Amino acid sequence: MVKVGIINATGYAGAELARLLYSHPEAQLESISGRSAAGKALAEVFPHLASYDLTIGEELGEVDFAFSALPHAASAAACAPLVRAGIPVVDISADFRLRDPAEYADWYGADHPAPELLSQAVYGLTELNREAVRQSKLIANPGCFPEGALLALAPAVKAGIIGPEIIVDSKSGISGAGRGLDLKYHFGEADESVSAYGLSGHRHLPEIVQELAAMTRGILSTCYAPLTAALSDGAVQELYRDFYAEEPFVRVVDSPPATKQTRGNNMCLVYPTVDARTEWLVVVSVLDNLVKGAAGQAIQNMNAMLGFAETTGLDAPAVYP
């Protein structure tokens, strides 16, 4: 049984990690930290986690594996000593997503707290980066917006069937608001994410993040790109189904999906279609921003890093309706 710790268990992503780990047969949540709430029981902060008998500490105790759900900058500072001590870490913040410390300083207005670790960090979109994730000790978990966009666009980009004028229009539930939505920030995330996978020729990516107060969880991304050759709906569907044939957490569907169909679980549903009149590809993807967009993806990465089946502890169906 792997002893797991969560740094900053008092935000939405940290609480969701705790929720999902409760059902994980190979991992045991042993230690949680969160300075403002240090000394309180987890159940006091999150009544829905009352099954845990854990007290929030100032610092993490001894663990075999750690997740960090701290905000950026604080997160790198907290992860660095663990990584140096040989403890594998998945960082949910953006701190290890960029490769270049100068670019980090540019985005965040401060020097990176652990620049020497940037070259070890692997961008943890498991579906597109599996081998590197398996061999890494430090994972930069993807942001929820690029997650949905990259899974929606990767098959088309890899197949070379679309031109560079890519538009991504994302709508998020309000639980995303804790993560400090900011247009520039998300441009940054998305751009880095895309270039990380050889999509670097595809830089035209105006993304508008629209926070819709009316749903709590979920991200729906609609992606538009011009096809470079005439392709039928059927051909595109087949290309997508082939691409994701072996993936347990991406399902290509044949009608527009709703965010509710993924609530609480680690699925991403992808619906590709062709606007025949204009010959543009339109792809809709949905996922739960707190699961596939954060905590579930992080556990999927842990599973890959530790040699477990990626679905371990993550196979519960969505809570619908």
**Site residues (CB under 8 A) for its own copies?**
12, 15, 18-19, 22-23, 46-51, 165, 167, 169, 171, 175, 187, 203-206, 208, 210, 212, 214-217, 220, 222, 224, 226, 251, 253, 256-257, 260-265, 269, 275, 277-278, 280, 282, 284, 315-321
Residue 88 or 264 having the CB closest to its own copies: 264
Q: Which of 93, 34, 21 is nearest to 60 (CA)?
A: 34
**HEC-encoded secondary structure of 145-210:** HHHHHHHHHHHHHHHCCECCECEEEEEECHHHHHHCCCHHHHHHHHHHHHHCCCCCCCCECCEEEE
Half-sphere exposure in the Cβ direction for 109 (13 Å, CA): 2
Q: How far is the CB of 114 from its own copies (least distance, A)?
A: 28
Single-letter amino acid code for the residue at 97: R
Half-sphere exposure in the Cβ direction for 103 (13 Å, CA): 13
Residue 96 or 308 having the CB closest to its own copies: 308
Residue 197 or 280 having the CB closest to its own copies: 280
- Provide the 3-class DSSP secondary structure of residue 212: coil
DSSP 219-236: EEEEEEEEBSS---HHHH
Q: How far is the CB of 73 from its own copies (least distance, A)?
A: 24
Q: How far is the CB of 237 from its own copies (least distance, A)?
A: 16
CA distance 219 to 289: 6
Catalytic residue among 79, 144, 223, 268: 144
65-68 sheet: strands from edge to edge: 56-57, 27-33, 2-7, 65-68, 89-91, 138-140, 122-123
Residue 79 or 205 having the CB closest to its own copies: 205
CA distance 124 to 301: 7
Q: How far is the CB of 116 from its own copies (least distance, A)?
A: 30
Residue 37 or 269 having the CB closest to its own copies: 269
Q: How far is the CB of 76 from its own copies (least distance, A)?
A: 26
Residue 92 or 274 having the CB closest to its own copies: 274
Where does 22-140 show beta strands of DSSP type E?
Answer: 27-33, 56-57, 65-68, 89-91, 122-123, 138-140
Establish whether 144 is a catalytic residue.
Answer: yes
Q: How far is the CB of 123 from its own copies (least distance, A)?
A: 21
Tokens (6 digits) for 104: 């980090």
Q: Which residues are catalytic?
A: 144
